[in-house]
């Protein structure tokens, strides 16, 4: 995704140590692949937030996928990461981050840590991230990777994200990265007044709509953004709504 363009982008880090493993694991090949990803998959599709673009140009996405799939890390598609889960398509990661309109001082709750890549992107553009993962193996793996990369502003919790993380509430923004057919009431309750919530809403076993929910004076508005296809949210979300 375009080296010349990125000469104009500020290298912005919010109190985060440099990526400890980047120099050892990165190569010119991966750096060029990231630049191409940003230019062709993000900028050409309308992503304009400079901090989101800079974060995704910096982050070694190939470290967040199985080694056997590292050569596909910067392709325009989701990839399996084990436990029936995926790492989202780069464009969707950028889009979901951009619509939250983060300025840098927010506390963000992410539901569905997965590989940890989305949490790392959020950590590059805001002050504090709390990320919850229901799959214990993925949770521990993502936590270890994020720690090794120096992300001291990410707190990873293992548990059912349907209920959010009340201990850290309220949140300026919430991101849900798995499909569900309703908006979990606990997440709405934990969203700060004036906050923004983004999630794939619809049939978990078919296509969904990516929606943005805004909260003003305990009144909610829902905005449709794009059609998407996410893996289903598991745990309590699989029960009939209201049960």
DSSP letter for each residue of 155-169: EEEES-GGG--GGG-
Q: Annotated active-site positions, please?
A: 88
Is 18's pLDDT higher than 70?
no
The residue among 98, 103, 163, 94 whose CA lies nearest residue 130 is 163
Is 164's pLDDT higher than 90?
yes
Is 9's pLDDT higher than 50?
no
Give the percent of the chain with pLDDT over 70: 88
**Average pLDDT estimate for 166-185:** 97
* 243 token code pair: 């049960």
**Average pLDDT estimate for 59-67:** 97
Strand 191-202 with 208-216, pairing: antiparallel
The β-bridge partners of 221 are 214
Distance from C-alpha of 180 to C-alpha of 72, rounded to nearest angstrom: 28
How confident is the model at residue 122, as a pLDDT? 98
**Average pLDDT estimate for 103-120:** 98
How confident is the model at residue 240, as a pLDDT? 82
Confidence of residue 12 (pLDDT cuts 50, 70, 90): very low
| Three-state secondary structure call for residue 216 | strand
Q: Match 């798995």 to its residue by tokens.
A: 178
How confident is the model at residue 95, as a pLDDT? 98
Q: What is the pLDDT of residues 112-137, one digit of tens each?
A: 999 999 999 999 999 999 999 999 99
Is 1's pLDDT higher than 90?
no
Find all residues with CB under 8 Å of 24, minimum gap 6, and list them.
none
Distance from C-alpha of 35 to C-alpha of 2, rounded to nearest angstrom: 5
How confident is the model at residue 218, as a pLDDT? 84
**Average pLDDT estimate for 51-74:** 97
Is 96's pLDDT higher than 70?
yes
Confidence of residue 46 (pLDDT cuts 50, 70, 90): very high
How confident is the model at residue 28, as a pLDDT? 77
Distance from C-alpha of 169 to C-alpha of 167, rounded to nearest angstrom: 6
Residue 200 near residue 208, CB atoms below 8 Å:
yes
Confidence of residue 8 (pLDDT cuts 50, 70, 90): very low
Q: Match 């209920």 to its residue by tokens.
A: 163
| Phi/psi of residue 198, nearest 5 degrees | -120, 135
**Average pLDDT estimate for 77-96:** 97
Read off the pTM: 0.88
Strand 128-133 with 107-111, pairing: parallel
Residue 163 near residue 239, CB atoms below 8 Å:
no
């Amino acid at each position: 995704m375009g080296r010349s363009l990125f000469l104009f982008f500020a290298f912005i880090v919010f109190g985060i140590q440099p990526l400890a493993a980047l120099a050892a694991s990165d190569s010119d090949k991966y750096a060029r692949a990231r630049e191409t990803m940003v230019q062709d998959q993000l900028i050409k599709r309308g992503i304009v937030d400079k901090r989101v673009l800079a974060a995704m140009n910096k982050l070694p996405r190939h470290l967040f996928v199985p080694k056997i799939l590292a050569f596909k890390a910067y392709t325009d598609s989701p990839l399996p990461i084990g436990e029936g889960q995926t790492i989202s398509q780069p464009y969707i990661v950028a889009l979901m981050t951009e619509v939250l309109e983060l300025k840098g001082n927010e506390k963000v709750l992410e539901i569905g840590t997965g590989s940890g890549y989305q949490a790392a992107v959020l950590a590059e553009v805001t002050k504090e991230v709390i990320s919850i993962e229901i799959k214990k193996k993925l949770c521990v793996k993502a936590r270890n990777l994020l720690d090794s990369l120096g992300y001291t502003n990410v707190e990873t919790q293992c548990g059912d994200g349907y209920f959010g993380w009340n201990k850290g509430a309220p949140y300026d923004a919430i991101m849900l990265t798995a499909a569900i057919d309703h908006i979990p009431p606990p997440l709405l309750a934990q969203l700060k007044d004036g906050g923004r919530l983004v999630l794939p809403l619809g049939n978990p076993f078919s296509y969904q709509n990516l929606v943005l929910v805004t909260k003003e004076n305990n009144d909610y508005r829902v905005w449709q953004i794009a059609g998407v296809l996410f893996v289903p949210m598991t745990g309590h979300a699989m029960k009939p709504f209201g049960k």
